[in-house]
Structure 1
Amino acid sequence: MDQPSTTPRARRRLWFDLTALAVIGVLLLAALGAGIAVLYKEFYGPSAFVTRYIDLLATGHAADALRMPGVSIDRETLADAGIDETASEALLRQAALAPLTDVAVVSEKTSERGVTSVTVEYVAGTHPGTSTFQVEQDGWAGITPNWRFAQSPLAAVALTVLGADRFAVNGFEVDRNQVSAAGADAAGEDPLPLLVFTPGLYSVTVDTAISRAAGVSFLADSPLTQTPVELQTEPTDKFVAVVQEQVEEFLGECTTQRVLQPTACPFGLEVQNRIVAPPVWSIAAQPSVTVEPSGAHWMIPPTDAVAHIEVDIQSLYDGSVEHVSEDVPFRIDGSITILPDGSASIRVGYPDGA
């Protein structure tokens, strides 16, 4: 006996079931594709590569960040970017890093030549910033791509610290003579090139026995650029007191010379007659010394002082003797050079040519 033919109602149900299965399959494929896209972006794409680099900086892993492909830089690349080839790597370490928070990728755009520009927002210390990094594919690891920086994320600062050879960057102590390519011959007025990570906030401060500076901060947010930064220090009270002491000692030595015109000293007395006995000098009013910046070193601006002389003078005309007790006003100035060992060389002068 023949089987009954499929009814129109059964055919419609079968069609509905097959359509539903097809829709579910398409949705599953779409969800799978979306999931793969998310995984790729989060873990395997160029944005993930840049985020991993910044996370290393944020957690203080400077050495690991340096080892990421494309971060290290050669002298030729530095020169092509207009950065001093002798730039020191002293700040490429954990101790010189500042906090990075609120990191977020805001855009990702790939050029025709295969280089992807990844733009990231963040907060460095308390300063919001935005940086763009160039990334390119660097082969494969199985079925996932490897990446490298097409342009190194390092930057540089040309730092000039006037009045100090020792300073701190984010609390990390730096000695100019140890990190400069010129070594002990490094001049304080010459900019000191230092490589830094991008992104990064760097605060330069000075707190030595000679000088202090509240500091200056700069945000390194553009890879392969060099930022000029200058910091002028101010003399400490202790330093000024030492200079005052040295000046008074110098003037005291001048008073030991029993002559009318002490050699290499800022005061003297001219007379037309004969002195009966060597004169006696003293300082009636010491100069009130101040210290001001002078390029990479320091200067003593012109300052008033008073010497006093006691001397007996005999007249060439009639032989009479007159006792002279006289104040002799004078002025001093001076230059102060900071030596490589950190000591100060003070040279006292006399602007009036005494």
Structure 2
Amino acid sequence: MSQALIKIAAGWLTGLLLAIAAAIVTITLVNNGAAGPQEPVREYLAALHNGDGAKALGLLRANVPAANAAMLDGAALKTASSRVDDVKLGSPEPRDGGQMMVPVEYTIDGSHLKTEFLLEKTGTQWLFFNKWSLVPSTLPTVNVSVVNSVEVELNGKPVNAPNGKASFAVFYPGEYEASFTSEYFTAAPQRATVTSAREELPGLNLATQANTALRNAVGGQLKKYLDDCAAEATKQQQLQPNCPFYHVSTNRVEDGTIKWAIKDYPKVSIEPFEGHWVVAPLKGTAQLTAREQDLFTGEISTLKVVHDFSFTTELNVGADKITVTPVVTY
């Protein structure tokens, strides 16, 4: 009986030792896997991909700076994360103070980039499993400026830019694109790639310009103004009408023969100036035909001259109306 009991006890002891060994292996595997330093990073990246800013912020344990929070949730955040491709999590690397660094490699617009996430132990779960959390940091910011506007689009979302400037808190890694398009003005998109919280990011400066629609609208009003001016000067038989063009002569010009026509219309250039849009000084040519008599010889001849002219305008671009007011000085 004693030998039988010894054999049973030995069997139980062997089983217990095997169970303990299996438990140790399991705990080690779990601590290196599901409860390892990579897991919070994996969850954080998934939250970015899903546009879940609240979860991402909780996992990152980051402070939010005093900036616009429009990029921290929803479609704008998903857009920033969607440009991150070929994501690969590297093996954790020990750092001072018991911390671990998890490298993440990826591409944005074909460029190979890397972000290092620092983690620390913040306790255990079920007595055996380590709990890892990202070391607290502060979110980076992207600064945006736009010429002559108080609104821009950032990652496709309309956002306010008081006085043409705004600062936005952002997650990383990600890419943020600022753009501006309206009926009469556009700006080439500008992009900022964010890879870490400590990164010095260049500002996104949108150089707004008048588009073809505005130039055509202004040009159309100017053409009508000049054509009407020439037609009225012809009707009134005036050599010096209230127009940008005029003619001075010491000869007598026969009434009924005066005819004005615009030969070259001004080219329209619209530029920003002190918070407004202005039309650059305009230049063109006008042609005058008439019959004139030399007061000394009495000879009558045909007059055909081309005069250069220039003038300025006042431009007002309203929500639904464009007004161009010519300013003529002599």
* TM > 0.5: yes
SS of the aligned residue for 1:223 comes to coil
In 2: Cα distance, 1:251 partner to 1:330 partner:
11
In 2: Cα distance, 1:345 partner to 1:120 partner:
55
Q: Name 2:92's counterpart in structure 1.
A: 108
In 2: Cα distance, 1:46 partner to 1:30 partner:
23
* 1:121 aligns to 2:105 (yes or no): yes
Q: Is the 8 A contact 1:314 1:321 kept in 2?
A: yes
In 2: Cα distance, 1:157 partner to 1:303 partner:
40
Aligned residue among 153, 159, 163 for 2:144: 159
In 2: Cα distance, 1:295 partner to 1:131 partner:
42
Counterpart amino acid of residue 140 in structure 2: A
In 2: Cα distance, 1:136 partner to 1:161 partner:
41
5+ residue gaps, structure 1, are 7-12, 76-86
**Alpha-carbon distance change, 275 to 57 in structure 1, aligned in 2, over 3 angstroms:** same
**Alpha-carbon distance change, 331 to 145 in structure 1, aligned in 2, over 3 angstroms:** same
Q: Any idea what the Cα deviations from partners look like across 1:139-178, whole Å, max 9, x if unmatched?
A: 67775646354213x322233455776543333334xxx2
Q: Name 2:133's counterpart in structure 1.
A: 147
Deviation at 1:57, TM superposition (A): 0.7
* 1:305 aligns to 2:284 (yes or no): yes
**Alpha-carbon distance change, 287 to 74 in structure 1, aligned in 2, over 3 angstroms:** closer
SS of the aligned residue for 1:74 comes to coil
5+ residue gaps, structure 2, are none
Deviation at 1:282, TM superposition (A): 4.1
Q: Is the 8 A contact 1:69 1:149 kept in 2?
A: yes
Aligned residue among 241, 246, 250 for 1:268: 246
Aligned residue among 90, 96, 100 for 2:70: 90
SS of the aligned residue for 1:66 comes to helix
Deviation at 1:275, TM superposition (A): 7.9
Of 221-230 and 281-290, more deviation after overlay is shown by 281-290
In 1: Cα distance, 2:321 partner to 2:58 partner:
40
Deviation at 1:55, TM superposition (A): 0.6
Aligned residue among 43, 50, 68 for 1:52: 43
Q: Is the 8 A contact 2:240 2:247 kept in 1?
A: yes
Counterpart amino acid of residue 72 in structure 2: L
Q: Name 1:203's counterpart in structure 2.
A: 177
Q: Any idea what the Cα deviations from partners look like across 1:81-131, whole Å, max 9, x if unmatched?
A: xxxxxx322222222122245443214345434554332223457655321
**Alpha-carbon distance change, 170 to 319 in structure 1, aligned in 2, over 3 angstroms:** same
Aligned residue among 205, 209, 215 for 1:240: 215
In 2: Cα distance, 1:116 partner to 1:346 partner:
65
**Alpha-carbon distance change, 285 to 244 in structure 1, aligned in 2, over 3 angstroms:** same
Q: Name 1:284's counterpart in structure 2.
A: 263
In 2: Cα distance, 1:34 partner to 1:250 partner:
89
Deviation at 1:196, TM superposition (A): 1.9
Q: Name 1:133's counterpart in structure 2.
A: 117
Counterpart amino acid of residue 158 in structure 2: E
Q: Any idea what the Cα deviations from partners look like across 1:297-347, whole Å, max 9, x if unmatched?
A: 8776777522234678888879999885532123568797877x5976768
In 1: Cα distance, 2:18 partner to 2:320 partner:
74
**Alpha-carbon distance change, 280 to 66 in structure 1, aligned in 2, over 3 angstroms:** farther
Q: Is the 8 A contact 1:119 1:132 kept in 2?
A: yes
Counterpart amino acid of residue 285 in structure 1: D
Q: Any idea what the Cα deviations from partners look like across 1:190-228, whole Å, max 9, x if unmatched?
A: x54322210112334444322446634432112143333
Counterpart amino acid of residue 246 in structure 2: G
Q: Is the 8 A contact 1:58 1:101 kept in 2?
A: no
Q: How many residues align?
A: 315
In 2: Cα distance, 1:27 partner to 1:333 partner:
94
In 2: Cα distance, 1:140 partner to 1:335 partner:
72
In 2: Cα distance, 1:115 partner to 1:337 partner:
61
SS of the aligned residue for 2:203 comes to strand
In 2: Cα distance, 1:25 partner to 1:133 partner:
40
Q: Name 2:156's counterpart in structure 1.
A: 171
Deviation at 1:236, TM superposition (A): 3.7
What TM-score results when the alignment is normalised by the length of structure 2? Answer: 0.68
**Alpha-carbon distance change, 171 to 327 in structure 1, aligned in 2, over 3 angstroms:** same
Q: Name 1:215's counterpart in structure 2.
A: 189
Of 92-101 and 206-215, more deviation after overlay is shown by 206-215
Q: Name 2:23's counterpart in structure 1.
A: 32
Q: Considering only aligned residues, what root-mean-square deviation do their CA atoms show, in Å? A: 4.9
In 1: Cα distance, 2:186 partner to 2:210 partner:
6
**Alpha-carbon distance change, 313 to 230 in structure 1, aligned in 2, over 3 angstroms:** same
Q: Any idea what the Cα deviations from partners look like across 1:7-45, whole Å, max 9, x if unmatched?
A: xxxxxx98xx969966x7666544423322332344444
**Alpha-carbon distance change, 328 to 145 in structure 1, aligned in 2, over 3 angstroms:** same
